[in-house]
Amino acid sequence: MTYSGDRTIVAIATPPGQGAITLVRLSGLQAKEFANQRFRARGQPDWIARRPLLGYFLDCHGNPLDQVLLTFFPGPASYTGEDLVEISCHGSPVVARQLVEGLVELGAHLAEPGEFTWRAFLNGKMDLAQAEAVRGLIESQTAFQAKVAAEQLEGKVSRTLKPIKDEIVRILCQMETALEFVEDEVELQERGELLEALQTADRQLEQLEESFSFGRIVQEGIMVSITGKPNAGKSSLFNALVLDDRVIVTDVPGTTLDAVTETIDLEGIPARLVDTAGIREAKDALEKLGVQKSLEYLRQAEVVLFVLDQTTPFGEEDFRVWDLVRERCCVLVINKEDLPGRLQVPPEVEKACAATVRVSALEGTHLQELRSSLLKAVTREHRIEREGVMITSIRHKHCIEATRKFLQAGIESYGRGMSEEFPLYDFRKALESLGQITGETTAEDILEEIFSTFCIGK
């Protein structure tokens, strides 16, 4: 993607399909000129910044195409930092397409994915971490995901990194001064004090790096495999958790032959539930394929709901399933608690599981307790309402890892009493890696990769 200041871009900014309103965006030096050629205001024709104008958008023959609301955002006080026009038309895909085609005929260019946010970044309206948060906010599936993305869009990550970066810069200045004016009487901090400050910066970065273990879960969600022998009530449990009869339930073992998935909101974390075929020795080729698919999902899952039937003893089939899941993070679900029980769970099984919950999938009892236990198993020591900054991007994590690697190498050589010129190289590289998070030192190819994942119109 190449930025050109004389290139005015246009795109539909709302999702494809029919709706009440479709929003078309136009950004660049000629945004107002192009829009003005096709727009006819009703009543007061003056363009006042950020005040919507009601009027008609015309086709190439001057005939009204649609009645629209047009809002003008003069640069630099706009999303992109350029002159920006937003046109709200009726939500017909045909009308929106004709509107865009009309602007293209005048000389506007179709925007590439993420080009509006790309321009906002290049024009200093946001840094790279904030730009990435735009995508995170758009893709949010839960309120908590949206909250985290909104905080990052407001600059929470950038504000957390700034004092760390400023401290490293300050120390570099001290070391550069010591190197350049070695024979002059310049008052500088002692080496031990500078080392302590560098180690503090490293510890702060370590905390950010560690936050990714939870941040990744918040950003990407988790996969939860509902696993057990046939007829343990896995499909009934799946239906109860998703609050819908997504899976056919019968008393015949082996009814579920293929995996069924559905995502639920687990207190702010997207949890993709997978109902799989019961694991046992398959009796035919079709069931064998279903069992193989179950094993594939089991390998991918972060958490397993190991479902047992309270009305039957813990038998050979249960042991077979347990051998497959015993090394995983498991929540033991004892189903059919509303029926007489014959189940004795082996102590080693119950002890190895993160939690044990008795439910009746059919009656819907203790499902909230199950959700709470599942959430606790997912988040472990993390709190869902935590207030501290959280790293949710794998790119940010890699940048912090690289920063700490160079920082620790410089600390080690500086601590051994080596001349400042040796650790200075590592500290400069640490600053460069840290700057890649906000885009201060990011290579062009990395920018291309980031913005290419955005939707068109954003």
> Is 60 exceeded by the pLDDT of residue 399?
yes
pLDDT of residue 235: 85
Give tens-digit pLDDT for 279-303.
655 555 565 666 677 778 788 888 9
When mean pLDDT is compared across 68-77, 189-198, 322-331, 392-401, the lowest value belongs to: 189-198
Phi, psi of 85 (to 5 degrees): -120, 130
Per-residue confidence at 250, pLDDT binned at 50, 70, 90? Answer: very low
Q: How confident is the model at residue 143 (pLDDT cuts 50, 70, 90)?
A: confident
Pick from 21, 63, 14: nearest CA to 38: 63
pLDDT in tens, 82-93: 999 999 999 889
Is it the case that residue 409 has pLDDT exceeding 90? yes
- Arithmetic mean of pLDDT, 65-72: 94
What is the C-alpha separation between 82 and 9, in angstroms, rounded?
Answer: 11
The answer to whether the CB of 229 falls within 8 A of the CB of 321 is yes
- Residue 228's pLDDT is 87
Mean pLDDT calculated for residue range 138-150 = 86
Tokens of 159: 């504000």
**Average pLDDT over every residue of 349-375:** 91
First to last CA, the chain: 14
Mean pLDDT of 295-321: 88
User: How far is 41 from 47, CA to CA, in rounded Å?
Assistant: 9
The per-residue pLDDT for 277 is: 65
354 burial (CB, 10 Å; 0-12 / 13-18 / 19+) is middle
pLDDT at 402 over 70: yes
- Out of 1-10, 84-93, 216-225, 322-331, pick the least confident: 1-10
| Average pLDDT, integer, range 172-196 | 71
- Determine contact, residues 11/23, Cβ cutoff 8 Å: no
Percentage of the chain exceeding pLDDT 90? 39
pLDDT at residue 450 is higher than 70:
no
Strongest mean pLDDT among 248-252, 405-409, 418-422: 405-409
The single residue listed with the structure tokens 């029980």 is 341
Domains parsed from the chain with CATH numbers: 9-126 (3.30.1360.120), 136-211+390-439 (1.20.120.430), 220-379 (3.40.50.300)
pLDDT per position as a tens digit, 418-432:
877 888 899 989 999
Residue 245: band (very low, low, confident or very high) from pLDDT cuts 50, 70, 90: low
- Give residue-wise pLDDT tens across range 328-352: 899 999 999 989 888 899 999 999 9
**CB distance 374 to 266 below 8 Å:** yes
Cα dihedral across residues 43, 48, 52, 58: positive or negative:
positive
At 177 the pLDDT is 75
Residue 78, SS3 per DSSP: coil
Model pLDDT for residues 41-59, shown as the tens digit of each residue? 987 667 889 999 999 999 8
pLDDT in the model for residue 48? 87
| Amino acid letter, residue 444 | E
Above 70 in pLDDT, residue 186? no
